[in-house]
Amino acid sequence: MERQRALTRETPFHYEAILDETLLVRHCGPPGTRTAQLDHTVRLAELPTVTVRVLPFDRPLVGHYLPASSFTYFRLDDPVDPELVVLDTESSGLILGDKEDISHYKRLFERLREAAFSPEESLALLRAVRDDAEESP
């Protein structure tokens, strides 16, 4: 929760996420969990410092490559701070700081961004899926 507060503090972080469309339709957890998560994602996507894009099932990817796991690319405003990539694993996060690794994941992120819906299209889809989830038993 502390990390999420960084999005709404006086000087918030800028955050961009690309979500696989699979995440929007997969049911997990007790009833109501999916709707609550979708509602929370919509609220975050409406923040001026947050950009959410959805990567649709049917969009081709340049290079035909999908990452084996989710990852986070960090770049802070201060140029002295290092760029980092964190790969999510089952038990922890693997931190990468090598320039070649960083370049690889930056290129991968750009390819995913190019294939994803625009932020406006993504927000409309998130709202529609959330509203549909509220109506489903």
**pLDDT band (50, 70, 90) for residue 2:** low
Higher pLDDT, 109 or 27: 109
Most confident range, picked from 2-6, 58-62, 116-120? 116-120
Least Cα distance to 41 among 4, 11, 14, 6 occurs for: 4
Q: Which residues contact 15 (CB under 8 A, 6 or more apart)?
A: 7, 49, 50, 51
Model confidence over 4-38: pLDDT tens digits?
Answer: 676 777 777 889 999 999 989 888 888 888 889 99
**Domain spans in the chain, listed from the N-terminal domain onward:** 1-57+116-137, 60-115
Residue 69 has a pLDDT of 83
